[in-house]
Amino acid sequence: MNTGCYAHDTPVLNYQANVTTESDRSQPPSADAQRSEQEQRQLVAEITTLFEQKISFNEFLGFRIDQLEPGPVRINFQMRPELIGHYLHGRLHGGVIASVLDVAGGLAVMMGIAAFHPADSTLQILERFSRLATIDLRVDYLRQGIGSEFTAVGEVVRLGRRVAVCSMRLSNDQDSLIATGNASYIVS
């Protein structure tokens, strides 16, 4: 794995792997193709490191992956003064809410891609991640962002060859639903 740099000298990852062509991606995986347990553990570890530490914004916000598999992905984070949007009430900033929902959706898409391509190596899945981007994000703010800990859950509604659609929700430590979101992601 090679590293590159942005203009501001923040290291980024440039994954180089033998990936399939566009026409190969449209083919469903064969029934016998499967990632080994060791490769799956490596994939989960690499995605966790990528999302928690190498994406500086996620690290700054304190996002921690709670669950990648099986089922929907879960991200937790603690409330702290830097995340307050209304200083009189100590409410979570709406931008933080939108960000964690977007991250949960993107993470769910990554795991969906990994599941759709069970024979791909960790590097191949991470190469696919390099093409992932948010197309559209809708957030419905349902309650004030009050709490000491928050959990975002994301799940794939549809994973196509070019576009994925996810639904996400954010709850506080009292299990109050704070916000819901829906997003579309480019995957090719």
Q: CA separation (Å) from 139 to 5, 28, 39?
A: 32, 32, 35
Span 47-105, pLDDT tens digits = 999 999 999 999 999 999 999 987 799 999 999 999 999 888 899 999 999 999 999 99
Compute the distance between CA of residue 64 and CA of residue 99 in angstroms, rounded to an integer.
13
Compute the distance between CA of residue 110 and CA of residue 134 in angstroms, rounded to an integer.
12
Span 168-179, pLDDT tens digits = 999 999 999 999
Q: What is the 3-class SS of 45-106, one letter each residue? A: HHHHHHHHHHCHHHHHHCCEEEECCCCCEEEEEECCHHHEEECCCCEECHHHHHHHHHHHHH
Residue 158 neighbours by CB under 8 Å, 6+ apart: 164, 165
Span 152-169, pLDDT tens digits = 999 999 999 999 999 999
Give the residue extent of every domain in the chain. 35-186
pTM for this predicted structure: 0.82
Check residue 115 and report its DSSP letter. H
Structure-token pair, residue 30: 């064969």
Structure-token pair, residue 43: 């994939």
- Which of 3.30.930.10, 3.90.850.10, 3.10.129.10, 1.10.10.10 is the CATH number of 35-186? 3.10.129.10
Among candidate residues 58, 40, 61, 39, the one with its CA nearest the CA of residue 50: 58
The per-residue pLDDT for 78 is 97
